[in-house]
Amino acid sequence: MFDREMKKFPIDAADASKGSNDQRQRVTRENSENEQENIEDQSEMKHKEERESDQGGYSIDIPSFIDGRNQSISVYFNDGVLDCFICYEALSIPVFQCRNGHIICSSCCVKVKNKCPMCSKLICNRCKAIENVLKSVQISCANAPFGCEKTTSYSKKKGHEKKCSYAPCFCPRAGCNFVASSKELALHFRSEHGWSPISFEFGAYFSVSLNISDEITILQEKNDGNLFVLSNDVKDDRYVIGVTCITAHTSEAPFHNRILTPRTEGLCRRKLQSFIPNSQGPVAITPALGLSLLSRYFSSDGELKLHIRIGRDF
């Protein structure tokens, strides 16, 4: 029945994320006929929220067609109910079960040689009921509050979120607590801090004219829109200049940078080659990852021309 209904009414932004109060409150039931129904709905919602906060589960809104009316029903899942008993990863089809009904993913089934580690019974059947649930459920991305409209099957949710471009990033300005997708963050930089990103292309050198008083300069990659901070921190009598990547996915492989200063009379050309740290929140470059320069590298107007290259390799 799930299947048939889902085909008629594709899911719109089903909310299933854990931990978002906004999402938890999106339990809707349209076309209420009388007040009594409204009161019942409110009490149901209250109970559902209590259950969720007690047990750390999540709910999913599923469109349905009841008595000729388009309605929305809410299904509540305890946390982990659609995860494998053994590896705790999200289940995907095929799903197996032992004679006692313990549910196991296909890769664990091979690893335990068809013998249930919970009860030692043989794992012999596909669990069609759970497979049908997995086929029916579409879950919205946890980054829906930040603008992501993607819905995925349960098993693909985590994979999508790991690289979702709407994952929230933090403003690098110390004391500013603004959090948004990188696209929104670029707008915030302009409107709140007056920072206009300098556009560049991965793998190609570009020039930046840095003023001695510029603590933060925003760099943005032309094609992918990745945001970087060129920071200029004063440490004792030196200026430490370096690049940080603003990303929600901090465990991602780091980018690399090269920074060159031009040959100036009486001063050596300075070079830096380092990886770029991923950052959430205020940026602070350590001298080991930045160019450490005395103020005489800046011109009498306080300017310093830098040639920078950012890429996945050196």
What residues line the site for Zn ion (CB under 5 A)? 84, 86-87, 98, 100, 102, 105, 108, 116, 118-119, 121, 141, 143, 148, 150, 164, 166, 171, 173, 176, 178
Q: CB–CB of 153/134 below 8 Å?
A: yes
Q: How far is the CB of 70 from Zn ion (least distance, A)?
A: 26
Q: How far is the CB of 262 from Zn ion (least distance, A)?
A: 32
Q: Please tell me whether the peptide bond between 254 and the residue prior to it is cis, using omega within 30 degrees of 0.
A: no
User: Which amino acid is residue 62, in one-letter code?
Assistant: I
- 174 vs 294, beta carbon nearer Zn ion: 174
- 69 vs 162, beta carbon nearer Zn ion: 162
- 172 vs 297, beta carbon nearer Zn ion: 172
- 148 vs 246, beta carbon nearer Zn ion: 148
- 44 vs 79, beta carbon nearer Zn ion: 79
- 75 vs 108, beta carbon nearer Zn ion: 108
Q: How far is the CB of 174 from Zn ion (least distance, A)?
A: 10
Q: How far is the CB of 91 from Zn ion (least distance, A)?
A: 8
Give the SS3 label for residue 15.
Answer: coil
> Token pair of 32, please?
């209420």
Distances (CA, A) of 173 to 189, 283, 289: 9, 7, 19
Quote the CA–CA distance of 113 and 127 in Å, as a whole number. Answer: 17
DSSP characters over 180-211? E-HHHHHHHHHHHH-PPPEEE-TTS-EEEEEE
- 150 vs 309, beta carbon nearer Zn ion: 150
Quote the CA–CA distance of 96 and 83 in Å, as a whole number. Answer: 12
Half-sphere exposure of 277 (CA within 13 A, CB side): 16
Beta bridge partners of 301: none
Three-state secondary structure readout of 249-290: CCCCCCEEEEEECCCECCECCCEEEEEECEECCCCCCCHHHC
Q: CB–CB of 132/94 below 8 Å?
A: no
- 45 vs 141, beta carbon nearer Zn ion: 141
Q: How far is the CB of 101 from Zn ion (least distance, A)?
A: 7
Residue showing tokens 């335990």 = 112
Q: How far is the CB of 274 from Zn ion (least distance, A)?
A: 26
Strands 139-140 and 123-126 come out as unpaired
Q: How far is the CB of 82 from Zn ion (least distance, A)?
A: 12
Q: How far is the CB of 79 from Zn ion (least distance, A)?
A: 16
